[in-house]
A and B are shown apart, each in its own frame.
Chain A
Amino acid sequence: MSYEHRSTLKRAVVLAAAAAVTSSIALADADLDQKIADTSNWAAQAGDYANQRYSELKQVNASNVGKLQVAWTMSTGVLRGHEGSPLVIGDTMYIHTPFPNNVYAINLKDQTYRWKYEPKQDADVVPVMCCDTVNRGLAYGDGKIFLQQADTTLVALDAKSGKVVWTAKNGNPKIGETNTNAPHVFKDKVLTGISGGEFGVRGRMHAYDIKTGKLVWKGYSSGTDAEMIMDPAKTMTWTNGKMEPVGKDSSLKTWKGDQYKLGGGTTWGWYSYDPKLNLIYYGSGNPGTWNPTQRPGDNKWSMTIWARDLDTGAVKWVYQMTPHDEWDYDGINEMVLFEMDKGGKKIPALAHFDRNGFGYTLNRETGELLVAQKYDPTVNWSPGVDMKTGRPGVDKTKSPQTTGPDVDVKGICPAALGSKDEQPSSYDRKTGLFMIPTNHVCMTYEPFQVEYTAGQPYVGATLTMFPTPNSHGGMGNFVAWDPAQGKIVWSKPERFSVWSGALTTAGDLVFYGTLEGYIKAVSPKDGKELWKFKTPSGIIGNVFTYQYNGKQYVGTYSGIGGWAGIGMAAGLTESTAGLGAVGGYKDLARFTTLGGSLFVFSLPET
């Protein structure tokens, strides 16, 4: 199925294909399909099911973007990290906030509130959120707005009235389980994961019935084949140049004893869906403790790209990017689905820009590994990925496993927060290139022995972070990437990590936000800056766009926090605090402070 064209034809084909495959079609997604097909809306966090973060709107374009100005603004009423973006459906914008996770429905005509949902959550959840009290946003489907609260409660609200339709309890904060991810609506299901990789939490993916909130399936990231919903003979993985079955106990065999129960593999990133294949795609996080010698084995299936059947959760294929992780390179970043031309063929592809610094391209239908190349050339923990086995080589001088506990390993690139963290990339449909917001940061890493206590951190490493040495001196780059060749096309340095989500439009523009607080428009051809505006606080949200009454608007949250901004967000000053981020990003204090607002821009009236 091509993702390149929005049309009702696509929807008809989707429904016909679904009908051919199964008899029990739930058309609950017809609502969201329709909302996504209308290019005036921004009806899903990534704009679509494929995670492309692309808009066909072109009223704002390269020739007039220099005139973009503030149209209206709103305070969110909350401070700390503002990730994700609002949704826009018709004449209503749905806004969410960091903890306490308020939801507001705004009338686009005059920015008055249609309704508010202000949940009461136990504040005990805040101390077990590792990396700021962020929330990555809402989902829409079947006439409902879905909120995934920090305390793990999943809430379905009637989109018109804001009344609670159903709730579901997704986890237990008393054992360090929380949620920061946005829920995702695919067909008749609401997908949501879990956070807590720094608290020994056992990662998994959940699918809830969109109408009732009943749990339909739950698939763990580690453990028995049944717990993971893997079939030893049918679930496939890239092995010696081809797809092979994973075999029996593919996870259990790679852990010592029952350590897999503290095995992480959390699922707090961005998910995507192919309606034709009926597969969902997402990545799993770190394998529990950051002290690698404490958990021998490949620790499957942490740091893995997953393809699961949407209806049953059955795993079709997996690919582990960082076996036996030694650096906290969580695999949770977005899986972007697109059609790729390679060798004269059109391949149903998936691209993923991992924390570990490698940009991967896979065949999303089969799981075959096609490309694995560094999207930051300074990545040094691995010389490269063996394309036959899919396994990365490891430089022993950058390996805390090799030197052991209580030894500080110096100069590892990238730092634990990766060449890119959750901040999502964007796919340019016109050029076939990816627009990637990246980090350019290295670290020292000293692991140490830790013991698990439920509800307490289970980490076991001290880090310091700093800008990549012998480079441009900044902590970020905005990168244009060729997913077929695995090559950087251009790279624009930034003073700080680009921690916002990118947006590409048919107006030949790429938008992103900086940690100093600038929202910028650059050319997708060469990264040349075409427009910028300084918002009140650093931007870690995702730039979005919509059309209302014939006018195009571009918007972003402004409110620093997240892992990079944790020093500011939590008032930390000690340099190794915040898992090393406090020292690394201390310069931010010269440029910004906390905030919480929404900025919406448009062209002046002509």
Chain B
Amino acid sequence: MRVMRWAFVPAATLVACWFTAGSTASAQDQHPAPPPAPKGNGHNAKTPLYTVQDGNKVDPKTLQGWKTWRAMACERCHGPAQEGLVGPALVKSLNVLTKDQFHTTITQGRAEKGMPPFGGVKTVTDNWENLYAYLKGRANGDIMAGHLYPIPDKKKPAGS
């Protein structure tokens, strides 16, 4: 029998992804060098969608978005660097989907493609916008793959 990761699972059923438990920051070489200064991007210059420093230190909401990605084990299907496995490469999808389309996809799933709905999971309903920010930062090439950390406070008080 020819062996593939997904050999046993037809597209229409539950995901064929294998079980992983997290990701390492091992895919940096595939992405542009992280910028030296904090950078934002997004809909409104006054409230950036995310803030990132050194490529892997982010604002609290985006950090929560990464933690949601990790907690839901999304890498099982989308790959540890969102590069795609049996599920699509989110680094590409997030440049195509609107924020509303992202919200719909994640809450309702795509049964015909094997993505379960996550709308009943509190971690997702509470954090979907943070998750969107994280994934958009990945798609824009601003945020590195792998483990993220909080932006360290230097002289500012906590909660900046």
Contact = CB atoms under 8 A, between A and B. Distances in A.
Q: Are A and B bound to each other?
A: yes
Interface of A: 77-80, 99, 122-124, 126-131, 133, 198, 290, 406, 446, 448-451, 453, 455-457, 459-464, 566, 570-572, 574-580, 594
Nearest to B27: A574
Q: Give the dominant DSSP class at A's interface.
A: loop
B156 to A, nearest CB: 21
Contact of A124 (B3, B13, B26): B13
Contacts of A460: 71
B73 A456 contact: yes
A99 B19 contact: no
B89 interface: no
A146 B82 CA distance: 43
B22 A576 contact: yes
Interface in B50-76: 67, 70-73, 76
A231 to B, nearest CB: 38
Nearest to B86: A127
Nearest to A461: B21
Contacts of B73: 456-457, 459
Nearest to A449: B71
A461 B4 CA distance: 26
Contacts of A124: 9, 13-14
A448 B70 contact: yes
Contacts of B19: 127, 129-131, 198, 457, 578-579
23 contacts: A79-B1, A123-B16, A124-B9, A127-B9, A127-B16, A130-B19, A448-B70, A449-B71, A451-B122, A453-B72, A453-B121, A459-B21, A459-B73, A461-B21, A461-B22, A463-B22, A570-B18, A575-B24, A575-B26, A576-B80, A577-B80, A578-B18, A594-B3
Contacts of B20: 572, 574, 576-579
Contacts of B118: 453
Interface in B1-59: 1, 3-5, 8-10, 13-24, 26
Contacts of B9: 123-124, 126-127
A390 B3 CA distance: 46
Interface of B is mostly: loop
A196 to B, nearest CB: 11
A466 B26 CA distance: 17
Given A123-B10, A406-B67, 13 more contacts: A123-B13, A126-B8, A127-B19, A198-B19, A453-B121, A462-B22, A462-B23, A571-B3, A572-B18, A576-B23, A576-B24, A577-B21, A580-B21
Contact of B1 (A77, A127, A574, A580): A77
Contacts of B71: 448-451, 460
Nearest to A453: B121
B140 interface: no
Contacts of A127: 9, 14-19, 76
B107 interface: no
Interface string B101-142: 000000000000000101011110000000000000000000
Contacts of A570: 5, 18
**Cβ-closest 8 pairs across A and B:** A462-B22, A123-B8, A570-B18, A577-B20, A571-B5, A451-B123, A126-B8, A457-B73
